[in-house]
Amino acid sequence: MPKPPSPNPSTKKNDAPAAAARNTDSGPGRVDPAAGGDMAARRMADVQQVAAAMPHNGNKALEHGFEDGTNPPAGQAVEAPSRLVGASTLSEENDSPKVGTAALDGLNATTESLDRVRVDSTGRVLTTNQGVAIADNQNSLKYGVRGPVLLEDFVLREKITHFDHERIPERIVHARGSGAHGFFECLRPQTELTMAAPFREAGKRTPVFVRFSTVAGERGSKDTARDVRGFAVKFYTEEGNWDLVGNNMPVFFIQDAMKFPDLVHAVKPEPHHQMPQAASAHDTFWDFVSLMPESTHMLMWVMSDRAIPRSFATMQGFGVHTFRLVNEQGRSVFCKFHWTPVAGTHSLVWDEAVKISGADPDFHRRDLWERIEAGNYPEYELSLQVFTEEQAERFSFDILDATKIVPEELVPLVPVGRMVLNRNPDNFFAETEQVAFCTAQVIPGIDFSNDPLLAGRIHSYVDTQISRLGGPNFHELPINAPLAQVHNNQRDGMHRQAIHRGRVAYEPNSLAGGCPFQAGAAQGFVTVPARIRAEEEQGKVRAKPEKFADHYTQARLFYESQTPVEQCHIANAFRFELSKVTVPAIRERMVASLRNASEDLALKVAQGLGMDPLPDPMPLALPDPAAPEVTKSPALSLLFRPGDGTIKGRKVALLVAPGVRAAPLLQLQQALLAQGAVGRLVGPRIGPMPTAEGDAIDADASLENEPGFLFDALVLPDGAEAIAALAQDGHTAEFIRDQFRHCKTILVFGGSRELLAQAGVPAALAKAQAQGGTGLVFADEGGEPAAAEAFLQALAKHRHFGRETDPPLA
C-alpha cells in the first residue's frame, strides 16, 4: 500500500474516519464522503456510496408472472467511484514476482490460452511439489540399508500422500451435527391418506436415525450460535429409506433454489478474512437479505429465541416444504410435517447462549447424549397438516412458497405418531458424520410438490455427497477451461485455480456495485417457454407466481403472534446483528424493509441503532397483497407450548462451601432426581467439605469450571460459615447475576439473602416484583419443605421474564 502523505503538524486533523475504517466488526452510524482521510477511509466512503445507491432491489417487482419470466431485465449495477470498492485488501498494490500486481479490470486470466499452464519436462530433473530437486526416486530413506523407514522422508511422504489423498472434510452447510437412533411409532392407520409404510397400522414401529445440526458453522464451531437448526430424520422402512430433511423453523429465507448459493455465500464467513465463524451478524448476510424482502418472515424466526434453543429435545422440527401424500388408489393431498417435542419448546436467552459457547461449545451435543444415557429419552409428536389442491387455491398465499406457513388456525395439526430417541451412536464418525440425507429419498406414498426450493434440494443433496468424494472445480482444469470469460459467484472447493478479488460472492449485492450482474434477455440465455401441452397458456419459465411477491404479511403475522417479551428479544436481536454491520446504508435498507412488517419493530431497531429519522419504507413488490385469513396465531409463540410441565433433563446448581447446612440441599437433590432433573453440588472447589451437621459433602463441580449460565436454576445454601466463604469468591456474584439476568429460578435458603445483596440483585427486584412472577423463592429455617416445593413448581416454568430488563440491571 502506498505510504500516506505526511501530516501537516500545523493543521488540525480529524482522524475519526481513518480510525473507524480500520474496524471489521462494526462501523459508524454515518459515513461522510467529504471527510477525507487515508486510503482505508476513502474505501469506506466509496463502499457506502455504492451501497447507498441501491436503497432497494429495483428489479424485485419484475420477477413475478409469466411475461416477466420470458423477458428478464439486466441486473442492477452501479459504477464504483474507485477500484478500492472491489479490492479484497488495501495491500494489493504491493507486488512481487509471486503475487504479481492487482487484478486487471474485468479480467478472468484463468480463461487465457493453455500456454499459461503447459509443462515441458525435457532436460529437467525430478522435483518435489515445492521445486526441490530429488536425488533418489528409487528408495525410501532408512536407518541403514536393512533398517526401518524414517518418518523424516518428506519425499516419500509427499509422493504417497499425493497418490492416496484427499477428501473434502465436511459438509458445506449443516457441518456441525449430533445424532441419535430411535423409533417412530404410528398412532393410528393413515391408509386413507397414504400408502407410506410407517403409517399403515397402529403401533407399528419404524427404526429411525436423526441428525440435528447448525447450518452456518463449521464442524468444530459452537452449538449455541444464533442459527437455524437442521432436523433430519431417516426412516428405515421395509420399502426403502425415507428421509424427512427439515429444520427447526417451518419457513426459509428464499423462495427458489436459484438463490441458495447466494444465501450461503452471504451468511458464511466473509471470504477476504474468513470472519465471523458461525454467525450472521456481519455485512454480507445483511446486505443480501436486505435486498431480498422475501427473507423477512424467516428473519423474524431467526431473530426470535427459536434460533437459540435450550436443547435439541426442546425444539420443534418441520419438513418446511409442501409435500404430497398418495394413497393406494392414487389419490393425493398436500401435506406439511410437524415435529413437536413432548418436553415443550424452550430456548436460551442471548447473553446465556454467548457465555455457554465459551464455557461449553458442545452444550447441545452433550445435552442430547446425557439425556439418552440417563434414560430421559427425547420424544416428539409427528403431526400432519393435510389439505387439498382446491383448498390451497383459496389461500391468500401460495403453498409452494417456502417463505410461508399454513397457520394452524387455517389447517389444524393432526397427530399421527411419536418418535423416541433411545440410543446414542457407537461411533460418531461411522454414524453421525457419515450419514447422508437427501430429500429425493422417498418411498411409495410420499411425493413432491412443485416447490421450486424443494426441486433444487432434490438435486443438491446427492450432488453434495458426490462432491465430498471429489471436487466441484473440474471446470477449472486446463483442458476444461473455456476461452470465453467466466465471471460468477462460485467460490472455493478443492483445486480452485482462480483468485477472486473482493469480498462479495453473491447477487444481488450493493457492496460491489451489483457486479457481476445478470445479463438480461438482450445478452443472456433465456429458456424457450415450451409448454407441456399445446392448449396450456404457460410453459417452462424462470419466474415466480404472483403471490410469492407478498413478502411481509406472514412476517407481520409471526411478529404480532409473539408475546411482548419475545417481541423485545426479536428487536434486540436485530439491533445486535445490525450493529455489527459496517456499512450504514445496509442498516438503513434493512430497517426500511422491517417497516413493511411492523412499524413497532422497525422503530425499536432504529432507536437501538441511533437511526433518526426512520428511512422510508421499502417499495413493495406486491403493492396490494391479499387480506390474510389469520392475523394472529398464538401457536407461533414459543411460550404457547410449555410442554408436559415436567423438569426432566434440567440441571440445577446447589452451591456449597465448608459449614453449609447440608440437609435441605440433599433433600432437594433427591426430589430433583425423582423428577428426572439433576442437582449438582457446586463449591468454591471440587471435593469433600465439612457441613454444619458435622458430616462431609462432596462437591462434584466448582464455581470456576461450571459457570452459572450452564444451569437451569440456582439454589443458595444456608449456614453462616458457608455463606461467608461463598461471599469471598468473586465467582459467586457472577453466578447469581447470570442466573438472575437469564430469568432462571433461584431458591434462597436462610442467610443467603446476603449473597443476593452482594451480587447487586435487590436493586433489580423492584421491576420484577411489579410485573410478578419473579422466580425467586425464599426459605427460612423450618420452612424449607414448602419452599422446595414452590421452587420445583417455579422451575417447571423454565423462565421468569417478568424480571428481564434491557439493559440488565444486575
Point out which residues pair with 713 in neighbouring strands.
652, 745
3-class SS of residue 512: coil
Point out which residues pair with 378 in neighbouring strands.
none
Which of 360, 320, 394 shows the shortest CA–CA distance to 701? 360
Q: What is the pLDDT of residue 429?
A: 72
C-alpha cell at 164: 492416496
> How many C-beta neighbours within 10 Å does residue 150 have?
11
Segment 30-56, tens digit of pLDDT? 787 776 678 888 888 888 889 899 899
Q: How far is CA 480 from CA 433, 473, 477, 662, 697, in A?
A: 33, 10, 5, 75, 72
Residues 6+ apart with CB under 8 A from 728: none
Segment 75-117, tens digit of pLDDT? 888 889 888 888 877 877 777 675 677 888 888 776 666 576 6
Query: What is the value of pTM for the model shown?
Result: 0.75
Q: What is the pLDDT of residue 568?
A: 96
- Residues carrying an active site annotation: 174, 247
Rg (CA), the chain: 30
Residues 6+ apart with CB under 8 A from 131: none
809 phi, psi to nearest 5 deg: -90, -20
Which of 424, 308, 432, 440 shows the shortest CA–CA distance to 376? 424
pLDDT means per 10 residues, the chain with 810 residues, are 43 62 71 77 88 89 84 87 84 71 79 67 75 78 80 75 55 88 95 94 93 94 96 89 94 90 90 91 94 96 97 97 89 94 96 95 94 93 95 94 96 97 82 81 86 86 66 56 68 71 82 81 54 58 86 97 96 96 94 97 96 95 94 95 94 96 93 92 93 92 93 96 96 95 94 91 58 77 88 94 83
Contact 810, 764 (CB under 8 A): yes
Letter for the amino acid at 261?
P
